[in-house]
Amino acid sequence: MMRKRITGVAAIVLLATLAARAQQPAPATPAQPNQPRLEVPEVAFNFGYVPQGASISHVFWLKSVGADTLRITDVRPG
């Protein structure tokens, strides 16, 4: 009985660890100086208190850094 409980706890810890690692972004590879890359100076914005039904917006500036053309092929809202 105790062995089943320990095995169950170990399985839960293993699954939690794998889930946490899956959510971490892959380490960035160092970019070459002339390769294009996207620079986002402001990655988050807090609107604070907003009344229900209010229309709000915010502009995030994106900057292409590098000598080559930057192509954005996929966008995923977070």
Q: Residue 16 above 80 pLDDT? A: no
Tokens for 22?
């899956």
Contact partners, residue 37, CB within 8 Å, separation at least 6: 31, 64, 65, 66, 70
What's the whole-model pTM score? 0.43
Predicted confidence at residue 57, as pLDDT, reads 93
* Separation in Å, CA 40 to CA 15, 18, 33, 43, 64: 33, 29, 17, 6, 9
- Residue whose C-alpha is closest to residue 41's, from 73, 65, 6, 9: 65
Confidence of residue 2 (pLDDT cuts 50, 70, 90): low
Express each pLDDT in 23-64 by its tens digit.
555 555 665 667 888 888 888 999 999 999 999 999 989 888
Q: What is the pLDDT of residue 52?
A: 94
Side chain identity, residue 6? I
